[in-house]
Structure 1
């Protein structure tokens, strides 16, 4: 479902994990609260991706080339920020993560930011930005299901209820949009659904690695692994000269790389360091709402009363879950 060595963003610089002590203190309420903020900001930034990709496709480019350009622009940022993270760890006396954890982070990055991104990009060749975002954000449901099946995580009733409310809203919107797509809708929907499943597994697999490596360094390793996958795929299917495109396409690729990849990837992983994968996934349902609004304003797609009703349900589910999750954490810490 994500660049020179700039000054690290607050989300990346402030959340580097310290060495884990024998007894880890309980996180403060303000620390957890910032997790909800990071999750929301990350979701909103990610929501711009589909719209920018559709604009790029209008200029004639395929998914493999656009994904390679995205990672080419993003990778220098991750290398630079990763280098700063390693420097800071050495200065503070922290040990660098072992090779096994580095390989694990790179593999998780391949799943969550290469395979999921590629199937998402490819699906957008066949369906609209609104339709893509609605399908992609079935991933919170998969987070809850896979968490219970493979990670021994309890299924919280409030998470199920909140996701149910949110997805009732998405279903209302979907029911109106599905009839407008042609024969390619099934293929596009299947590709984006594969992206949603992959991103759900990424969230579950990444959480422990983020806790031990730290969100900033983990993000750099994971995204570097994804970049290697994107470059290898491009070179296997294209000639290197195909990376020479128009200035407009370079601009779109840069926007995807920074605004819809680098910044939200740090916000997302900082959120995963503070709140549960279920909480992060549920808050992420804000993203399709924002995508719908951007698609209307930028791509000229229509917004109906049914769209508005569905959006209201999504916001109600997200808001209720956030308040309930925070209240439960306060009670547990009391």
Structure 2
């Protein structure tokens, strides 16, 4: 008879990983809702973005400093100046330009429509990877792209029929945000390999923060920072609740569950945005919009899951 000590314990289900992944996806989904509330307080996109980046900046300064200290303690070489400069520019693209375009778009379209457009950025990663970086493109990506943008076209047509100007403007800016974030993802991959995820993220976020603050100084008076207490609370929620915390939650989830599982959990994000938009902003969706949303979520969810299985 074998001893109980000789029997290897069965690993527990990674429920913590799933919970962290879902929490991160939902917090990311709340960004558009909070931005809409801040706009209702009279805060403009440049001021809101500057507040968001300024409030999150200390966290990334501390994390970046700790990452450098660990590198020194291990005797590792510090990143080359060329890599740092590249990280600065790539970070400005992904976390300033893309965010600013998204903030501009949310002035014109609903938070739910914005989240669905942003949700298609993995397809742009595939397309630009093939066009600019010589990466192979698979037929399933083209099918997913066609179905997803068929769904977006349904929603666009629904909004365009009643409010054409804002619909075009909002779709343009948020589409630009999705495209620029896809380019950021492609350019960031090699840099992540060179200097590591933590340090690269901190350099990128610090760069984006400085650009956002410089932009604010150039286009807005300093008095614009004197927002209401409720407006400032919303800025804190965007900076901490929809930026810093979800980034940590998603990274923690990736350590506990597979990339495939994390990909599927990410499909919670647009659903959570639609629910929050209905509860908090009073947004409603017609049957046509719901059908379009379903096409987008199913096609992107299927593509992301199958692609992560291939890479895993």
Q: How far apart are the structure 2 equivalents of 1:146 and 1:48?
A: 28
Q: How far apart are the structure 2 equivalents of 1:268 and 1:205?
A: 21
- Tell me by how many angstroms 1:281 deviates: 9.2
1:119-138 alignment to 2 at 5 Å? 119-138=101-120
* Paired residues of 2:156 and 2:167 also in contact (CA < 8 A): no
* Deviations 1:225-276 (CA, angstroms, capped at 9, x unpaired): 0001000000011222321211111111111111222234456789999999
- Structure 2 counterpart of 1:178, from 155, 160, 183: 160
Q: How far apart are the structure 2 equivalents of 1:83 and 1:189?
A: 38
Q: How far apart are the structure 1 equivalents of 2:301 and 2:100?
A: 31
User: Which has the larger helix fraction?
Assistant: 2
Other-structure match for 2:204: 222
Other-structure match for 2:100: 118
Other-structure match for 2:124: 142
* Paired residues of 1:109 and 1:225 also in contact (CA < 8 A): yes
Q: How far apart are the structure 2 equivalents of 1:39 and 1:211?
A: 23
* Higher mean C-alpha displacement, 263-272 vs 211-220: 263-272
Alpha-carbon distance change, 321 to 308 in structure 1, aligned in 2, over 3 angstroms: same
* Deviations 1:15-39 (CA, angstroms, capped at 9, x unpaired): xxxxxxxxxxxxxxxxxxx999988
Alpha-carbon distance change, 37 to 91 in structure 1, aligned in 2, over 3 angstroms: farther
Matched, 1:47 2:38: no
Other-structure match for 2:51: 69
- Structure 2 counterpart of 1:259, from 214, 227, 241: 241
* Deviations 1:199-246 (CA, angstroms, capped at 9, x unpaired): 111111111111111111111100000001000000011222321211
Q: Please give the secondary structure, in 2, of the residue aligned with 1:245.
A: coil
- Structure 2 counterpart of 1:242, from 220, 224, 237: 224
- Tell me by how many angstroms 1:305 deviates: 3.2
Q: Please give the secondary structure, in 2, of the residue aligned with 1:302.
A: coil
Other-structure match for 1:156: 138
Q: How far apart are the structure 2 equivalents of 1:230 and 1:308?
A: 35
Q: How far apart are the structure 2 equivalents of 1:63 and 1:267?
A: 26
1:318-333 alignment to 2 at 5 Å? 318-329=300-311
Q: How far apart are the structure 2 equivalents of 1:37 and 1:171?
A: 33
Matched, 1:109 2:94: no
Q: How far apart are the structure 1 equivalents of 2:296 and 2:254?
A: 21
Query: Between Structure 1 and Structure 2, whose CA radius of gyration is higher?
Result: 2
* Paired residues of 1:216 and 1:266 also in contact (CA < 8 A): no
Q: Please give the secondary structure, in 2, of the residue aligned with 1:221.
A: helix
Q: How far apart are the structure 2 equivalents of 1:66 and 1:112?
A: 17
Alpha-carbon distance change, 180 to 291 in structure 1, aligned in 2, over 3 angstroms: farther
Root-mean-square deviation (CA, aligned residues, Å) is: 3.2
* Paired residues of 1:219 and 1:265 also in contact (CA < 8 A): no
* Paired residues of 1:286 and 1:318 also in contact (CA < 8 A): no
- Tell me by how many angstroms 1:283 deviates: 8.0
Unaligned runs of 5+ in 1: 1-33
Q: Please give the secondary structure, in 1, of the residue aligned with 2:165.
A: coil
